[in-house]
Structure formats: structure tokens, C-alpha cells
């Protein structure tokens, strides 16, 4: 599957995550709900690592890569904990648009830290994404 198919699969799974998580955090502390979700992710990921034979290359992972993967894991943990807590106290239609501000922030961070190019069209798209997310949040929370 090409990158676009994987990206679309990620988008569909993320959409399902929001709905399933909102139902799942009902009556469960958000940190506990995040821990349960994390166990599923850990078991699934390591099952694939061993099933695909990728465990043989663990000792060859460069130190720099390992440090950044660990930092990424910490950021993921913070994101999930905050997301589940937000879902516990607010409707999905309020939380998800704000969470999706990660899209323009990711492009900004990629431009700053990875030196990825951003032309005026991409900049305009970032502004439109921000405006769209904030508009959806405003109109869903105003009623």
C-alpha cells in the first residue's frame, strides 16, 4: 500500500478512536482508560515486531533514533492522557476540532525543526485548517 492508503487508514482509525474512546471513558478514570488503551497498543505493536521478524534488528537501532523514539513516546503519552481527559469532560464535537489543531502545528514544527519547505499555498492551507478547526469548535460549543 502506498503512503496515501496508509494515511487514509490512519485517519479512519483516528476517527473511530474518538468515538470508541468517548464511549469507553464513561465511568472510567481517564488515566486508567489511557493505560488500558496503551496496553493494547503495546501488545499489538510487539506482536507485529516479532511476527515480521523485526526483533532481530533491535540491537542495531542507532542511539539517536532511540532517544527520539523515546521522546516521541513521551509526547504520545501526554497527548493520549490529555485527549482522554478532554473526552471525559466535553463532547467529542468540542474536543476533536481542537485536537486536530495538531495538523497545522505539525506542519509548523516540520518547517522549523526539519526545514521542510512551506510555500504560500501550504501556509494558506495551514491558516484554513486552523480556521476550520476553530469554526467547528465554536459552532459546536455555542449551541
pLDDT tens-digit series, residues 71-96: 999 999 999 999 999 999 999 999 99
| Structural contact between residues 47 and 105, judged by C-beta atoms closer than 8 angstroms | no
| Structural contact between residues 21 and 83, judged by C-beta atoms closer than 8 angstroms | yes
Residues 47 and 61 in one domain: yes
Task: Quote the pLDDT of residue 143.
Answer: 66
Residues 9 and 36 in one domain: yes
Residues 34 and 46 in one domain: yes
- Residue 5 pLDDT > 70, yes or no? yes
Q: What proportion of the chain, given as a percentage, has pLDDT over 90?
A: 95
Of 47, 70, 89, the one marking the end of a domain is: 89
Residues 75 and 118 in one domain: no
Task: Quote the pLDDT of residue 114.
Answer: 96
Q: What proportion of the chain, given as a percentage, has pLDDT over 70?
A: 99
Domain housing 124: 92-143
Quote the mean pLDDT of the chain: 94
User: Tens of pLDDT along 88-133?
Assistant: 999 999 999 999 999 999 999 999 999 999 999 999 999 999 999 9
Q: What is the DSSP string of 49-64?
A: HHHTTGGGGGGG--HH
Of 47, 65, 89, the one marking the end of a domain is: 89
Half-sphere exposure of 104 (CA within 13 A, CB side): 17
pTM of the entire structure?
0.85
Per the structure, the count of domains in the chain is: 2
- Residue 59 pLDDT > 70, yes or no? yes
Amino acid at each position: 500500500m502506498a503512503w496515501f492508503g496508509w494515511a487514509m487508514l490512519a485517519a479512519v482509525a483516528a476517527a473511530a478512536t474518538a468515538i470508541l474512546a468517548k464511549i469507553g471513558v464513561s465511568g472510567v478514570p481517564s488515566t486508567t482508560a489511557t493505560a488500558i488503551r496503551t496496553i493494547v497498543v503495546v501488545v499489538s505493536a510487539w506482536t507485529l515486531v516479532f511476527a515480521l521478524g523485526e526483533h532481530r534488528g533491535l540491537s542495531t537501532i542507532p542511539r539517536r533514533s532511540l532517544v527520539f523514539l523515546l521522546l516521541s513516546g513521551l509526547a504520545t503519552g501526554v497527548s493520549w492522557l490529555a485527549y482522554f481527559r478532554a473526552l471525559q469532560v466535553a463532547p467529542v464535537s468540542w474536543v476533536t476540532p481542537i485536537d486536530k489543531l495538531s495538523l497545522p502545528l505539525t506542519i509548523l514544527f516540520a518547517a522549523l525543526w526539519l526545514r521542510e519547505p512551506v510555500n504560500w499555498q501550504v501556509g494558506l492551507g495551514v491558516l484554513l485548517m486552523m480556521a476550520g478547526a476553530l469554526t467547528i469548535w465554536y459552532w459546536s460549543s455555542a449551541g
